[in-house]
Amino acid sequence: MMAKNNVITTKEFVNSSIAEVIGRTESMFQKDIAVNYNELQAQIKDKSVLVIGGAGTIGSCFIKELIQFYPKKLVVVDTNENGLTELTRSLRSSSDLKVPEIYLTYPLDFGNVIFERLFKAEGPFDIVANFAAHKHVRSEKDVYSIAAMIENNVLKADFLLKLLKENNPKHFFCVSTDKAANPVNVMGATKKLMEELIMAYSEDFKVTTARFANVAFSNGSLLDGFIHRVSQGHPLSCPSDVKRFFVTPSESGQICLMACILGKSGEVFFPRLEESDLINFRRFAEVFLHQLGYGLNICLTEEDAKIASKKSLENNYPVYFFESDTSGEKLYEEFFTETDELELTRFQGLGVITNAKKSEIEEIEAVVNRIKELFFLEQISKADIVSTLKQILPDFDHNETGKSLDQKM
Ligand SMILES: NC(=O)c1ccc[n+]([C@@H]2O[C@H](COP(=O)([O-])OP(=O)(O)OC[C@H]3O[C@@H](n4cnc5c(N)ncnc54)[C@H](O)[C@@H]3O)[C@@H](O)[C@H]2O)c1
């Protein structure tokens, strides 16, 4: 099964799909960047920057926004060697981007002694931004995958913070997610813990974070999957009842850059999206296929959709819509909770949470040690870990249905 036209992997195609569904042709942060341009330039020009997880969707978009303000040195760390290669090709091939004078990429893990050596040898850094994480709710299947997620999102962040305490950057940013607000899945709970962890250091050096919405077509997302499905001749599968806020990839880089540089220590930035901006994934499926020249052949089961994808397509593409019934799914999204204090006048497109919880470092270390002790036990289950997380995070309301996204198409 072939796509009706072959433009599906072009940037223009993705951008026009996003623009049609989200309804924005220019960044929702354009004005904020223009107003704060001089300050961004003053803080970035000729500075030394470390970006961790910089080969990923948001990290690479952050880099593309950052280098427009001419840092002198950029060090990028990511375990994804291929992703780093593509990042470098993309930066060096782009006519409107200037790669910094010193540009170094390292395919390594930020949570070990090799990173520590690199950090000490290449530092000190004026700006450090971390985008490395496990981000999929689908990854939280069992005790092993949950332990790996906590290790990456919490324990390695702890390791990094201790290094930063000895070598204070002027700006430290670590990306969070809207799933950290009233978390219902382990991924959101690990990000909430990560937020509490970084905030505990906000008196020692400047720490900021951002919670935001789905980045349209980001690596591994449902929409990114649509591109892969069509190029491989597979049917689309899409929840019919889940609504999400979306930002574009470049908007995701801009939110993080503004939080990192313009935020005050301890602040959490979020995009000012209204309930009317929530988009049902179904709409993306419709526009995506329409852009390819297709209508929808709605199939009632996964099996029907697979059979339909083997037949001649004519004008309609097989799609299986389902109602969400997997563990840890929120049917809506939120960036802040009832107890958060908000500042909504400083920026046009961004809101700021100003009263994030700031624990003592000793208090948060006790939490980290409790998790480490749990990991050392020979017999631990997913339920043990979830129960410990619930004790640590009273707002964590895990919704276990016994079903994971990995059981679906
Ligand atoms: N994509 C979204 O829609 C979205 C929305 C809001 C928040 N976020 C958050 O932003 C972060 C990044 O998201 P993304 O879409 O850019 O993900 P991504 O998977 O594209 O990028 C993450 C990068 O981090 C790297 N990485 C992971 N663990 C590492 C480690 N231990 N050491 C070094 N590198 C490591 C990965 O190789 C990858 O390149 C995640 O924490 C996610 O929760 C994402």
Contact by Cβ (8 Å): 376, 302: no
pLDDT in tens, 156-209: 999 999 999 999 999 999 999 888 888 888 899 999 999 999 999 999 999 999
Structure token digits, residue 303: 């099996």
Work out whether the CA dihedral 37, 38, 43, 47 comes out positive or negative: positive
Distance 269 CA to ligand 1 centre (A): 18
From start to end of 122-280, where are the E strands? Answer: 127-130, 171-174, 207-210, 214-215, 236-239, 243-244, 246-247, 267-271, 279-280
Name the residue among 125, 133, 129 with its Cα closest to residue 62.
129
Question: Ligand 1 within 6 A of 133 CB?
Answer: yes
Residue 332 has pLDDT above 70, yes or no: no
Distance 274 CA to ligand 1 centre (A): 25
If you take atom 17 of ligand 1, which residue's CA is the nearest one? 56
Q: Check whether the bond before 124 is cis (ω within 30° of 0).
A: yes
Tell me how far apart the alpha carbons of residues 371 and 375 are, in angstroms, rounded to a whole number: 6
Task: Give the full edge-to-edge strand order of the sheet including 342-343.
Answer: 102-106, 73-77, 48-52, 127-130, 171-174, 207-210, 267-271, 350-353, 342-343
* pLDDT band at residue 269 using 50, 70 and 90 as cut-offs: very high
Q: What is the pTM of this model?
A: 0.93
For strand 73-77 and strand 267-271, is the pairing parallel, antiparallel, or unpaired?
A: unpaired
- What H or E segment, with its residue span, contains residue 52? strand 48-52
pLDDT in tens, 18-46: 888 888 889 999 999 999 999 999 999 99
Residue 131 has pLDDT above 80, yes or no: yes
Q: Which residues pair with 146 in a beta bridge?
A: none
* pLDDT band at residue 213 using 50, 70 and 90 as cut-offs: confident
Structure token digits, residue 259: 């939080």
* pLDDT band at residue 7 using 50, 70 and 90 as cut-offs: very low
Name the residue among 30, 12, 396 with its Cα closest to residue 187.
396
SS3 label, residue 351 = strand
Phi, psi (5° rounding) for residue 184?
-120, 0
- Beta carbons within 10 angstroms of residue 22's beta carbon: 19
- Beta carbons within 10 angstroms of residue 290's beta carbon: 14
Question: Ligand 1 within 6 A of 152 CB?
Answer: yes
- What H or E segment, with its residue span, contains residue 296? strand 295-299
Tell me how far apart the alpha carbons of residues 196 and 207 are, in angstroms, rounded to a whole number: 11
Work out whether the CA dihedral 346, 349, 355, 359 comes out positive or negative: negative
User: Which of 22, 113, 131, 270 gets mutated to test ligand 1 (max ligand atoms within 8 A of its CB)?
Assistant: 131
Average pLDDT (345-354) is 96
Structure token digits, residue 373: 């002790």
> DSSP secondary-structure letter at 162?
H
Question: Ligand 1 within 6 A of 215 CB?
Answer: yes
Distance 351 CA to ligand 1 centre (A): 22
Tell me how far apart the alpha carbons of residues 306 and 237 are, in angstroms, rounded to a whole number: 10
Question: Ligand 1 within 6 A of 105 CB?
Answer: no
Residue 103 has pLDDT above 70, yes or no: yes
Question: Ligand 1 within 6 A of 50 CB?
Answer: no
Measured from the CA of 80, which atom of ligand 1 is nearest?
A: 37
Question: Ligand 1 within 6 A of 129 CB?
Answer: no
Contact by Cβ (8 Å): 48, 73: yes
Distance 249 CA to ligand 1 centre (A): 13
Distance 240 CA to ligand 1 centre (A): 26
Tell me how far apart the alpha carbons of residues 131 and 2 are, in angstroms, rounded to a whole number: 35
Match 């993306």 to its residue by tokens: 284
pLDDT of residue 1: 38
Contact by Cβ (8 Å): 180, 153: no
pLDDT in tens, 59-84: 999 999 999 999 999 999 999 999 99
**Helix (H), strand (E) counts: the chain:** 15, 16
Structure token digits, residue 360: 């003592």
Tell me how far apart the alpha carbons of residues 67 and 77 are, in angstroms, rounded to a whole number: 16
For strand 207-210 and strand 102-106, is the pairing parallel, antiparallel, or unpaired?
A: unpaired
Contact by Cβ (8 Å): 355, 199: no
pLDDT, the chain, mean: 91
